[in-house]
């Protein structure tokens, strides 16, 4: 059973378009992290959201944590080819040391 | 560069063999996490050590074991290897025992079992 469901799994868009990636769960998490992974590399942390309803912006990327802390979204404005990669959401529970990862969204931005 | 070092970067071995993957955490980090990433399963948490002690266990097979040494580096031992063990193995580290803040991942070890 996948505790964190990401959608879509694959996304291929043109440069300049906007997109949203969703990360949904029936479980509550104390925090949720978004990572970006490039081929042959390890995941790199983009952001951590902790408070229900929290919105964080990182240049053209906007991250939101759902009010109930069960879901999150990543919105990219005016996507660029450099945004291409695998985007992973990961949920943490406060009393454990493990992250539960979603299956990832593979994003391809064509010039 | 995340500051987490994993060796080797690539490993090719035969079924039935045993391998050891090594991880050096970021300076000052006491927690080390091991993850397995395969195409069909995504990133799966295997095990966590904090300051030398096992802290949390995930989907780690009995054929796999890990330890964290006094200098805080960690090793993941994989034995009686099967074709299905072929995957990317990542190590991550964080300052404390909980993953709520942030973890830094190494570049991974790509294991191919033939």
Judged by CB atoms closer than 8 Å, whether chains meet at B43 and A101 is answered as yes
Residue numbers in A near B44 (CB within 8 A): 101
Q: What percent of chain A has pLDDT over 90?
A: 77
Question: Using one digit for the tens of pLDDT, what is the confidence trace for A42-101?
Answer: 999 999 998 999 999 999 999 999 999 999 999 999 999 999 999 999 998 766 667 889
Do the chains contact at B102 and A33, CB–CB below 8 Å? yes
Q: What is the DSSP string of chain A?
A: --SSEEE-SEEEEETT--EEEEEE-SS--SEEEEEEE-TTS--EEEEEE-STT-EEEETTEEEEE-TTSSEEEEEESS--GGG-EEEEEEEE-TT-S-EEE---EEEEEE-
pLDDT beyond 70 at B77: yes
Whether A28 has a pLDDT exceeding 70, the answer reads yes
> What's the average model confidence in pLDDT over B12-38?
96
Of A35, A97, A100, Cβ closest to residue B98: A97
Among B31, B43, B108, beta carbon nearest to A88: B43
Average pLDDT over residues B90-113: 87
């Amino acid at each position: 059973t996948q505790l964190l469901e990401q959608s879509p799994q694959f996304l291929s868009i043109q440069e300049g378009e906007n997109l949203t990636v969703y990360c949904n769960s029936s479980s509550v998490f104390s925090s949720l992290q978004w990572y970006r992974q490039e081929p042959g590399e390890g995941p790199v942390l983009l952001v951590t959201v902790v408070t229900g309803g929290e919105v964080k912006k990182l240049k053209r990327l906007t991250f939101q944590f759902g009010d109930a802390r069960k879901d999150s979204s990543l919105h990219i404005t005016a996507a660029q080819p450099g945004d291409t990669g695998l985007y992973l959401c990961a949920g943490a529970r406060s009393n454990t040391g493990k992250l539960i990862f979603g299956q990832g969204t593979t994003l391809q931005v064509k010039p | 560069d995340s500051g987490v070092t994993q060796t080797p970067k690539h490993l090719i071995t035969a079924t039935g063999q045993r391998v050891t993957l090594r991880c050096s955490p970021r300076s000052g980090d006491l927690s080390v996490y091991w993850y397995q990433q395969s195409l069909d399963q995504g990133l799966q948490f295997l095990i966590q050590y904090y300051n030398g002690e096992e802290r949390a266990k995930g989907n780690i097979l009995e054929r796999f074991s890990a330890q964290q040494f006094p200098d805080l580096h960690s090793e993941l031992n994989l034995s009686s290897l099967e074709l299905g063990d072929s995957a990317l193995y990542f190590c991550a580290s964080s300052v404390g025992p909980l993953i709520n803040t942030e973890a830094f991942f190494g570049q991974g070890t790509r294991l191919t079992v033939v």
